[in-house]
Amino acid sequence: MKQQEQWSSKLGFIYATAGTAIGLGAIWKFPYVAGTSGGGAFFFLFILFTALIGLPLLIGEFLLGRHTGKDAISTYKQLAPKTAWVSTGWIGVITCFIVLSFYSVVGGWSLLYLFHSITGQLSGLTVEQYGERFGEIIANPVPTLGAQLLFIVFTILVVSKGVQKGIERASKIMMPALFILLIVIAIRSLTLDGAMEGVRFLLLPDVSNISSETVLFALGQAFFALSLGVSIMVTYSSYVPKTQSLSLSAASIGIMNIFVALLSGLIIFPGVFTFGLEPSEGPPLIFVVLPAIFEQMVFGEIFLIAFFVLFVFAALTSAFSMLEIIVATRVKKDITKRPKVSWIVGLLIFILGIPACLSYGALADVQIFGRTFFDNADYLVSNILMPFGALLISIFIPLKMSKTTLFEELKQGSSIGSKLFMVWYVLLKYVTPLAIIVVFLDAIGMFR
C-alpha cells in the first residue's frame, strides 16, 4: 500500500531543512573562506547575497516540491513531461550520490577527531604537530575507511526510519544541540584576551578588503550554503502540508544559516587573534588551528570534545538529506521499500567513496587531471554540477510554471501579497540566473 510521507510539524520541517543547509559548509568552510577573503567585508556580502540570491531560489525549490508532492525526478516529469527537463532531477540525484561519497570521508574524519579528542590524543601539541597529526590521521587507511563506513551506516539507519521517525526525529535532537553547543563555545571564545580583535575582523567591513574575488567567493558561499541546485529542497518540501508558509520557512532557514556562520566565526577568530595565528590559514582551520586554540584555553579539552560533537551533528544532518533525495526517487510513495533501498544506496555510496577516502594515503599518488580522486569529486560537484543544476532550476520555474500557479502555491499557508511576490519573481527570473552564471564562469576559470 502506497502512502505519502509528511513532516509532523512546521518546526520539524524547518529543523530538517536547516540541518541540510547548516552542514560542513557553514561550520568548516565559512570560517576559512571568510579568513582568506577579508573578514567583515566578506560576511557583509554573504548576508546580502543570501537574501537577494539564495532565498529566492530556496523558495523556488520549495514551491516545486510542494506543488507536485513528488521526488526530484518525478517533479520535473510532471511539470515538463516527455522533455529533457527531467535531466534536472537526475543531475540532483547524481550530484548527491557523488557528494555523499566524499562528504562521508570528511564525516569520518570528524568521527576520528571526536574519538581522538575524547581519548586525549589531541592534547599537548603545537600547531605544527597538529598539522602532522592531521596528516597521519587521514593517511591511515583502516581507521579512515572504518570511520567513513560508520558515518554512512548511521546515516542509513536514520533515513531508513522514514521522514518523521528518522530524519525529523534526529534533526529535532541534533539541531537544538548544535545551536546550544555553538553558543556555549562562542561565548567561551569571546572571553579570550584578544577576542575583540577577532570580532572586529569578522563584523567590521573594511572596504579596502573588497575585491572581485571577495565578491565572487561571497556569492558562491551564499549560494552553496543553502544546499541549492541539487533538488534536495524540492524533495524535502514535497513532504510539506499546504497549510505551512513556504516563505516564512525559507526566511527562518536563511536566518539560521547566517546565525550559524556568525557563531562559527566567533568561535574561530577570537582564538586566532588571541594566540597570534593567521586567519587566512585556509581549510586546516578546523582540524589544525582550532585544536591548537583549545589547547591554550582553560578546560580546552572539554570544549574541543564539544566542538567535534557538534561538527559530527552538522555533518550528519546534511548527509541525511543527500541520501534522502536518492532514496525518495526509488521509494516513490511506497514506504515499505525504504529500509531496503536505504541500505543498498548507502552501501553503494560507501563503495564509490573508497578511492576518495584513500586519496590521502594509499592512492595519494594516483591522479587524474592533476587531482586526487577526492579533489576531482569535489571539483566536479562544486564547480560544475551544483551551479549547472541551480541554473536549470532557476530557468525552469518561471518557464514551466505560470505566475498565477506560483502565486497561488506561495499564498497557501501565507499572507504574502502580490507586490512581495513580484519582487521574489523578478529576483528569481533575472537576478539569480545571472549570479549563478557569474559564479559558474569564475569556478571554471573564465575570469582568471
419-431 pLDDT, tens digit per residue, is 999 999 999 999 9
Handedness of CA 263, 269, 270, 272 (dihedral sign): positive
The mean predicted confidence, pLDDT, of the chain is 85
Report the run of H or E that residue 376 belongs to, with start and end: helix 373-379
Closest Cα partner for 427 from 87, 60, 111?
60
Q: Cell numbers at residue 345, please?
A: 544506496
Between CA 175 and CA 343 the distance in angstroms is 24
Domain coordinates in residue numbering, the chain: 10-444
- Is the distance from CB of 268 to CB of 195 less than 8 angstroms? no
Question: Given a cut of 50, is residue 284 above it in pLDDT?
Answer: yes
Question: Given a cut of 70, is residue 130 above it in pLDDT?
Answer: yes
Q: What percent of the chain has pLDDT over 70?
A: 94
For 124: left if phi > 0, alpha if psi spans -120 to 50, otherwise beta; the answer is left
Report the run of H or E that residue 434 belongs to, with start and end: helix 432-443
Residue 30 class from Cβ within 10 Å (0-12 exposed, 13-18 middle, 19+ buried)? buried
Q: Which distant-in-sequence residues (6+ apart) come within 8 Å of 277 by Cβ?
A: 127, 271, 289, 292, 293
Per-residue pLDDT at 407: 93
User: pLDDT tier at 323 (50, 70, 90 boundaries)?
Assistant: very high
Q: What tens digit of pLDDT does each residue of 221-253 get?
A: 777 778 888 888 898 888 888 888 899 889 988
- Is the distance from CB of 337 to CB of 82 less than 8 angstroms? no
Higher pLDDT, 305 or 22: 305
Q: pTM here?
A: 0.86
Cα angle for residues 208, 210, 213 (degrees, 5° grid): 140
User: pLDDT tier at 348 (50, 70, 90 boundaries)?
Assistant: very high
Amino acid at 411: K
Between CA 164 and CA 145 the distance in angstroms is 30
Cell 590521502, located at residue:
360
Q: What tens digit of pLDDT does each residue of 6-43 get?
A: 776 777 778 777 777 666 667 777 787 788 777 888 89
- Is the distance from CB of 336 to CB of 329 less than 8 angstroms? no
Per-residue pLDDT at 4: 58
Angle between helices 212-224 and 40-49 (to 10 degrees): 50
- Is the distance from CB of 387 to CB of 228 less than 8 angstroms? no
User: pLDDT tier at 2 (50, 70, 90 boundaries)?
Assistant: very low
Amino acid at 404: T
Per-residue pLDDT at 229: 84
For 16: left if phi > 0, alpha if psi spans -120 to 50, otherwise beta; the answer is alpha
**Residue 368: what are its φ and ψ, rounded to 5°?**
-125, 130
- The SS3 assignment for 368 reads strand
Which CATH superfamily, name and number, covers 10-444? Hydantoin permease (1.10.4160.10)
